[in-house]
Each structure stands twice: as structure tokens, then as C-alpha cells.
A and B are shown apart, each in its own frame.
Chain A
Amino acid sequence: MTADVMRAFVNDVGESGPVTCVGGRTAWDVGGAADPAAREVRAPVGIVEHEPAEMTVRVRAGTPVDVLQRELAVGGQRVLLPSPSPDATVGGVLAVGRSDVRRLAYGPLRDVLLEARYVSADGRLIKGGGPTVKNVSGFDLCRLLVGSLGTLGFLGEVVLRTRPVPDASRWHRGDEVDPFALVAELYRPAAILWDGAAAWVLLEGRAVDVREQASVLTRHGMVEVGGPPDLPPQVSSLTPSALRALDPSATGRFVAEIGVGTVHADVGAARAALPVEVVELNRRIKDRFDPRGRLNPGRDPLLGAGAEVAIRTGGGCRLCPTRSATGSDHRRARAERRADP
């Protein structure tokens, strides 16, 4: 059954012609617009196997995250995937690569994916990683696929690490608290958010610990609330300490993940220059995995959240016409190079 479903997905993707893999379209603009000429395919749907005592779940990539969470909750578990909308799919959020807002306690999204079965550009079913929680057998294709925007392969079925649903989980909010001081004052809070004025803190764990930590927050004038603030759409990254310098007059409304460095804002921030060696490695990986550029044409992980990426070309980028190029210049250069036989 599973083999048949995956075989059908392999056939859908095929071996030639531009093709794009559609999830819930919740982050469809990330990394550029998909080429409208690309044929659309969808990953298969369904939970293949959940063994609660193993703390893993095998699920098909087209399954909505919310559907997976509801099924896992029956066994008292969850996966640390973000759920930006009810339509967001497991494969979609992995391909986009944005971490859940509880990253401070549980780590980034890339640590959730244990095994990936994906369809390659030449229409083969490839397995990367392995089903166990610990594995260093061979090179790490799983981490390469997280955040790759489907440009290296289309996820069909994955094994994810699950975690127990904590006994207690409580959001708090306050206006008079220094969120940066809370990182050191609390022990492993699940999230600390800050919009330049108010702070939100998520405490999770044993009820006794959440009560004890909540008393710290109460001393800072924080009160329990129903949940976090709405997150503005554009996502950018800083170091945790650089969040102190965030300026609402430049970013518009923002919500920063304190201790992590992720910023959700109305206006995307310009990124620091990327060294040419890194751009070159990205290009070589894409060329080895998809030499004809047929997987998700138009999308480019180097362009991340749609922000312009300046590419530092100290040694001279051999693709770009000028020594200092923006991401779109680079992308254009790459497209032209491909078109040129």
C-alpha cells in the first residue's frame, strides 16, 4: 500500500519538464514565485505508523500538520512543527524550513526530521537518514532538505521525532519586564517573545515547575494570557543579542523571538552579505541534485523570505556580471546561464 502510494507520487513527478510541489500554499511567496509553467504535483497524504513508545511517527508529506497533531495527541504526543495555517502540510513546512516559535526550548525545525523519502529530479525514490532517534549512517541529506524549498527533491514520506505533550503549558504577558533578562532568569522557557514594548513568555513542563517559574513572572508583573500575539508575515534572522537594537520605525510592527534571534515583522529586513564561497556551494549542490533545474523553478532558498540578499563577491562571482550583486541579479544570471546551451 505504502509502496503503491509512493510509486504513484514518483510517477506524478516524472523525469522531465518543470514541476512544482504544492502543499497548503501557506508560504508560497517564500524564496520567489514559482514558475507558472511548472506542472503542479501534490505529495501523498496519511499517517503511516505511529508507535508512541518509539517517540517517532512516519507520515506522508502531504498530510496537514494539524491533522498529524490531532492524531499524535491521542497518544499524548506532538511534533515541534509550526502550523501557520490549517492547510499547512508536513512536507510544506519542512521545505520552507521555518522553526516553531518554541525553538528556544526544543531546538530548530531541522532537528525534527529523522528520515526522508523524496523524489529526485530524475524521478527516483531516494531515502536519506534513518528511522531511529539517533543515526550517523552516511551523509545528512535530511538537514539538507529542510529549508530547501523543494529545489533538491520533493518530500514524499518522512519520519519525525515526537515529544510528549507537557503536563502544563501557559502563556504570560507583561509590559514592564526586560525580556532579555528573562532568558537567564528562567530555566529553559519554551518561548520568550517581544514586540518592543510587551513581552510574552511560554512556560511548559511539569505543572510544579511551571507554577514555580510562573511565580518569577508574577514578580515581574506578568499575567497569564490565552496565547501569543499574532506574528507579522516577514521573517528574518539576527543574533539573539542583536535583537536589542530592533527599531519599530524601520521594521514596522515586529515580534522577536528572544534568545533565538528570529524576527517576525511587517517589513522584511535586508540580510547581511553572503560570501561568494557559500553562494557557490549552494549552486553546486543544486546543480548536482537537479542539473536541469526542473524542481520548483523560480524558488530559491538563497532568497529566503523574499528579502534581497546581497552577495559579497570578494573573489569575483563567476556567474554575476558585477562584483557586487543582489540576490535577484544572481538569480537572473543563473537563469540566463541555464538558458544558454
Chain B
Amino acid sequence: MYERDASMITVDRPAVVCFPRTAVEVQACVRAAAHHDRPVVARGAGTGLAGGAVPVASGVGGPVVITTTKMDRILSVDVEDRVAWVQPGVVNLDLTRALAGHRMHFAPDPSSQQSCTIGGNVANNSGGPHCLAYGVTSAHVLAVDVVLADGSLARLGALEADVPGYDLRGAFVGSEGTMGISTRIAVRLTPNPPAVKTMLLDFVSVDDAAGCVSGIIAAGLVPAALEMIEGKMIEAVEAFVHAGYPADAAAVLLVEVDGLPGGVAEDAAAVASVGERCGARTVRIAADETERQLLWKGRKSAFGAVARIAPNYYLHDTVVPRTRLVEVLREIYDIAARHDLLVMNVFHAGDGNLHPLLVFDAREPGVLERVHAAGDEIVGASLRAGGVLTGEHGIGLEKKAYMSQMFSADDLDAQARLRAAFDPDERMNPSKVLPAGSRCGDLQGVPEGAWV
């Protein structure tokens, strides 16, 4: 179990799996690994989709996996300073539930929020539907206590507004375990909005729905969330959870606006008006909290619903400029068709964060090669449209070989220098994020035996 994460990429088996309960124990694990020249791989709940927590051997032998799941306490909640100190193994949704009495929450809400940990969110700079208005994890982390590669403990960032020196906190968040292991995290608490309206817009054409997304952004609206679900995925979700989506729609948009009641009413009316102009067949506003939760349940159950269509799926994660959504979605359909694959889209449309799912049956001979080829082309199409490799899943092992499509050898060299300042011996989660030999520009393919 500890040789894989949710990506199903596997490379090496861990030599040792540690379950520390304190920072001192994490330090001891890291020092012991250094003494025996073993790489260290930090792991939260293992929900990562890019292979970031998959152990890869280096040095003299097998990797030491440090699992943070036993460091699962919320240490303090300070409502006035709007900050909570948590251990890295605290589950994302558990934190938000614990804050409910204060009418506060932790804003990043990845799809895996019922099981993913705050430490993992920090390592991956995780996103989620509500990051459109509230920002990804980096915007919600004030300070992190980190065990560095030499076993020392450093606090990066501070509860004060600014800290002298470089933004070490900013460098660490999203570094995918390559710069150290968090042992305590100060997260920013976000006040719950006094009013929320959740709307469902349905379309008979995917182009119209994608055009509506651009229209909403162009109208100067910043919804709390703006999600799109299309095609066969709507049918699958409906059959799975009966969320009340029109099963014959080509695409639906789930739009949430929040804030003070007066502005929320105006924002909802403005979204409806853009929707009608863009060809929405119906615009439905959830009448109560039950209906609202049901609409969200549909979105959040999407990946589970795929199992009704085919036994396997490969979930991609790229970002494109929001004005290019229509053409990139068309291109993705063409790519899937060329490779004789079914593609379904359920994604964070408001920030252009695509999540195409290539759906298949792994028992079919040759299908994996087609899935890989189609994935390559989807990444290429996203980059050509002015987009980026990943919006929230991270690079890990999965996208490492693509890094040179987005960054020059000099760009990668600069990233390698930053990593080396934290971990000169590449002991922390080696072989992740940067292609091998980033300092001289050569590339290494996905490790042998990788994926599915």
C-alpha cells in the first residue's frame, strides 16, 4: 500500500515505513535515513494523483516513507487572528468541520477532502472548486514548521503580516515533499459567507456552456465556484446519485455565488442573465440547503460515477486560458476520437482548470498505449493554447517528462537551484518534479513499470 498513491504509478517498494507522532520523531527518521544514505518520502493520505508520494530508490537503497497520518491533531484555533495550528495529518474536511462552531472554514476543498491531509495539501498546493474566489492552498498557509534534509527544524513564514527575507513559506508550499517535511502548519481561517446561492445552468451544446464560462468572467463576476460537467458524465452522475441534473443536457454549469445577501441576489441575477444570453436551456437556483447539497453531491460524486461506464479512467489536469475553453475542449474530443477513446469532462471551468477523464477497460489489449498517446496530445494542446501542465495535481512523477515542454533548460536550472538550497543532496523525495539532470537539460522518461 505504501508504494503507491491514487495515481497507481508504482516504482519501488519502501524499505521502511515510519509513523512519527511528533516533530522530534520526524527529525529522528530523517536523520536515520541520512545516516544510512536512504531517500525520504513524505506521505499523507496517499490521495495524490501525480505520483508525488510514490517512493523511488536512490543512494544505497530503498526509500524511507514517513507517513504523517498519526500527526492528526488540531493544536489551536485563534479566532481573532483567524489562524489554526494543525499537525500535517489532519484531514482537510475534519478541520473545516471543527471550525464550524466559529463560523469559519479552511477554504481549499479538493475533491478528496474527506480523506486528504492538510500536509498533503501544503505539499501539492492543492486546489478545489472554491479556489476560484478564495485562492489555492498557498493563499491559506501563513507558516509551516519543516524538518529539513539535515534533520534540523525551521519555521518558514510567520503569523505576523510579513517576515524578513525571502518567502521561504511560498517556496515550500507546492514543493511536493522535495524541500522538507511539514510537522506543524498555521492555516488561515476564512469566515463563512453570510449568504450563498448555488445555481445549475444546462445547455444543449458544450460550446455554449464553455462560452458562458468566459461570459461570466468577462462580465466582471467572480463566483465562489464555477464548475462544468458534460456529456456522458451527466448521465453517469444522475444514475449514481440522482442530483437532479437534466440527463439529456450536453453540459451543465454549477455556479455558486456567496457574500452579503443583497450582492448575492444581484450576482445570481447577473449569472442567470449571462447564461440566458449564452443559450442556457434552464437556470435553476437551489431553493434550500438540501437542494444545494444535492447539486454539489452530483459534482463531488463524478469520479465514483465513472465506474458505471468503464472499469478504468485516467484523470488529466491542465489549465488553459479561460477564453480558449471552447476550442481546447473541441480539440480534446478530437484527440479522444482519433485514439478511439471515450473522454468525459468534469472540471473547474471558472479558472480554466481542465480535468478530462479518459475512460477505458484496461483488459483491452493496447488500450494503455492509446491512453498515453491521447494524454500526451491533451497536454500539448493545453500548452499550445497558452496553458500550463497542471493546475492542482502537481508534477510528481506523472508530468516530470513534460516539464521541458513548458520550461527551458535555464528555467529548470533555476528551479533546481531553489530545490538545492533546501536539499543539496537530493535526499527529500528524489526523482520528483524536475526531470533528471535539469542542470544540463537532458530528460528521463517515466520510470520503468510506471502507472496502472
The reply to whether A128 and B217 form a contact with Cβ atoms under 8 Å apart is no
Q: Which of B9-17, B124-132, B303-311, B440-448 contacts A (4 or more CB under 8 A)?
A: B124-132
CA distance A261 to B412 in the complex (A): 36
| A296 lies within 8 A of chain B by Cβ | no
Q: Which of B133-189 contact A (CB under 8 A)?
A: 135-136, 138-139, 148, 152-156, 158-168, 170-171, 173-175
CA distance A239 to B390 in the complex (A): 34
| A97 lies within 8 A of chain B by Cβ | yes
| A249 lies within 8 A of chain B by Cβ | no
Q: Which of A133-180 contact B (CB under 8 A)?
A: 133-141, 143-144, 146-148, 152-153, 163-164, 180
Residue B260 contacts which of A103, A130, A187, A257 (CB distance < 8 angstroms)? A187
Known: A54-B321, A125-B410, A132-B352. A237 touches B160 (CB 8 A): yes
Residue of B nearest to A52 (CB): B218
The reply to whether A132 and B320 form a contact with Cβ atoms under 8 Å apart is yes
Known: A132-B387, A213-B260. A281 touches B410 (CB 8 A): no
The reply to whether A134 and B220 form a contact with Cβ atoms under 8 Å apart is no
| B288 lies within 8 A of chain A by Cβ | no
**Chain A residues within 8 Å of B148, by CB:** 277, 281
The 6 closest A-B pairs by CB, nearest first: A143-B170, A208-B262, A206-B263, A164-B220, A261-B161, A277-B154
Residue of A nearest to B215 (CB): A53
| B98 lies within 8 A of chain A by Cβ | no
The reply to whether B266 and A206 form a contact with Cβ atoms under 8 Å apart is yes
| B389 lies within 8 A of chain A by Cβ | yes
| B353 lies within 8 A of chain A by Cβ | yes
Q: Which of A96-148 contact B (CB under 8 A)?
A: 97-99, 103, 107-108, 110-111, 120, 124-128, 130-141, 143-144, 146-148
The reply to whether A288 and B418 form a contact with Cβ atoms under 8 Å apart is yes
* Cross-chain pairs A/B with CB under 8 angstroms, 13 sampled: A54-B217, A55-B322, A126-B411, A128-B414, A132-B352, A134-B353, A136-B393, A137-B388, A241-B81, A259-B82, A275-B155, A278-B155, A301-B166
Residue B391 contacts which of A99, A135, A188, A288 (CB distance < 8 angstroms)? A135
| B3 lies within 8 A of chain A by Cβ | no
| B392 lies within 8 A of chain A by Cβ | yes
The reply to whether B321 and A136 form a contact with Cβ atoms under 8 Å apart is no
- Report the minimum CB–CB distance from A151 to chain B (whole Å): 9
Interface centre among A99, A241, A271 (most CB of B within 10 A): A241
Q: Which of A21-29, A39-47, A302-310, A317-325 contacts B (4 or more CB under 8 A)?
A: A302-310
Q: Which of A178-192 contact B (CB under 8 A)?
A: 180, 183-184, 187-188
| A282 lies within 8 A of chain B by Cβ | yes
Known: A143-B170, A240-B80. A288 touches B217 (CB 8 A): no
- Report the minimum CB–CB distance from B24 to chain A (whole Å): 15
The reply to whether B154 and A281 form a contact with Cβ atoms under 8 Å apart is yes
**Chain B residues within 8 Å of A120, by CB:** 410, 414
B positions within 8 Å CB-CB of A: 78-82, 124-125, 127, 131, 135-136, 138-139, 148, 152-156, 158-168, 170-171, 173-175, 191, 193-194, 214, 217-218, 220-222, 259-260, 262-263, 266-267, 319-323, 348, 351-353, 386-395, 399, 403, 406-408, 410-412, 414-415, 417-422, 424, 433-434
**Chain A residues within 8 Å of B408, by CB:** 126-127
| A230 lies within 8 A of chain B by Cβ | no
- Report the minimum CB–CB distance from A184 to chain B (whole Å): 8
Residue A239 contacts which of B138, B160, B267 (CB distance < 8 angstroms)? B160
Known: A163-B222, A206-B267. A281 touches B160 (CB 8 A): no
Residue A281 contacts which of B173, B319, B406, B421 (CB distance < 8 angstroms)? B421
- Report the minimum CB–CB distance from A329 to chain B (whole Å): 15
- Report the minimum CB–CB distance from B322 to chain A (whole Å): 6
Residue A55 contacts which of B162, B217, B391 (CB distance < 8 angstroms)? B217
| A231 lies within 8 A of chain B by Cβ | no
The reply to whether A285 and B323 form a contact with Cβ atoms under 8 Å apart is no
What mask results when residues 181 to 213 of chain A are scored 1 for a CB within 8 Å of chain B, else 0?
001100110000000000000000110110111
- Report the minimum CB–CB distance from A253 to chain B (whole Å): 19
Interface centre among B193, B221, B415 (most CB of A within 10 A): B415
The reply to whether A303 and B421 form a contact with Cβ atoms under 8 Å apart is no
Residue of A nearest to B434 (CB): A138
**Chain A residues within 8 Å of B420, by CB:** 288
Interface SS, A side? mixed
Interface centre among B82, B165, B434 (most CB of A within 10 A): B165
| A217 lies within 8 A of chain B by Cβ | no
**Chain A residues within 8 Å of B262, by CB:** 206, 208-209, 211-212
The reply to whether A130 and B352 form a contact with Cβ atoms under 8 Å apart is no
**Chain A residues within 8 Å of B406, by CB:** 130, 137-138
The reply to whether A124 and B267 form a contact with Cβ atoms under 8 Å apart is no
- Report the minimum CB–CB distance from B120 to chain A (whole Å): 13
CA distance A107 to B417 in the complex (A): 28
The reply to whether A147 and B352 form a contact with Cβ atoms under 8 Å apart is no
**Chain A residues within 8 Å of B79, by CB:** 184
| A51 lies within 8 A of chain B by Cβ | yes
**Chain A residues within 8 Å of B160, by CB:** 237-239, 261
Known: A141-B418, A257-B161. A134 touches B136 (CB 8 A): yes
Residue A137 contacts which of B214, B320, B389 (CB distance < 8 angstroms)? B389
What mask results when residues 212 to 249 of chain A are scored 1 for a CB within 8 Å of chain B, else 0?
11000000000000000000000001111100000000
The reply to whether A237 and B191 form a contact with Cβ atoms under 8 Å apart is no
The reply to whether A111 and B135 form a contact with Cβ atoms under 8 Å apart is yes
CA distance A152 to B417 in the complex (A): 11
The reply to whether A152 and B391 form a contact with Cβ atoms under 8 Å apart is no
The reply to whether A205 and B395 form a contact with Cβ atoms under 8 Å apart is no
| A20 lies within 8 A of chain B by Cβ | no
CA distance A275 to B174 in the complex (A): 23
**Chain A residues within 8 Å of B407, by CB:** 127, 137-138
**Chain B residues within 8 Å of A278, by CB:** 154-156, 165, 168
**Chain B residues within 8 Å of A14, by CB:** none
CA distance A130 to B394 in the complex (A): 14
**Chain A residues within 8 Å of B424, by CB:** 284
- Report the minimum CB–CB distance from A293 to chain B (whole Å): 15
| A76 lies within 8 A of chain B by Cβ | yes
